[in-house]
Amino acid sequence: MALNTEFNLGTESDALFNELLQAHEGLSREQSEQLNAGLILILMNHIGEAGTIREAVVCARAALDA
């Protein structure tokens, strides 16, 4: 499964983005980092394909602000 970089979130994308932010509300920086790490691990396991996950890491790193 190649990484899907086309839009795939239907009508829920704005809601989901907002819910991500809400999930971090009231957390310390450390807790926030742990929440993000946990989310990544859960989603990585759900995807379950090493190639796709590696592509995602490359894609995200390539998009880092200078």
Partner 1 sequence: MARYQFEPFDYVTPPELSGAGSASAPIIIVGAGPIGLAAAIDLATHGVASIVVDDNNVVSVGSRAICWAKRSLEIFDRLGVGERMLEKGVTWKLGRVYRGDREVYNFDLLPEDGHKFPAFINLQQYYVEQFLVERCADFPDLIDLRFRNRVLSVGQDETGVAAEIETPDGAYMLRGEYLLACDGANSRIRRQFGLDFEGRHFEERFLIADVEMDADFPSERWFWFTPTFHPGQSALLHKQPDNIYRIDLQLGPDADPEEEKKPENVIPRIEKIVGGRPFKLDWVSVYSFNCRRIDRFVHERVIFVGDSAHVVSPFGARGGNGGMHDVDNLCWKLARIVTGSAAPDLLESYNHERVHGADENIRNSSWTSRFMSPEPGIETAFRNAALSLAVDTPFARRVVNAGRLSVPCQLTDSPLNGRDDDVFDVPQKVGMVALDAPLSDRDDNATWLMSQLGGRFVCLVTGEAKAPAELPDGVELVRIGRGGFGDAEGRVQERYGDAVYLIRPDQHVAARWVAPGAADIRAALTRCAATITA
Using the minimum distance from each CB to partner 1, give the nearer residue, 18 or 34.
34
- List of residues contacting partner 1 (CB under 8 A): 30, 33-38, 40-42, 45
Q: Give the position of tokens 């989603």.
A: 43
- Residue 3 CA: distances (Å) to CA of 8, 13, 35, 66: 11, 18, 23, 24
- CB of 40: closest distance to partner 1 in angstroms? 8
Using the minimum distance from each CB to partner 1, give the nearer residue, 14 or 30.
30
- CB of 30: closest distance to partner 1 in angstroms? 7
Q: Give me 50's structure tokens.
A: 């090493």
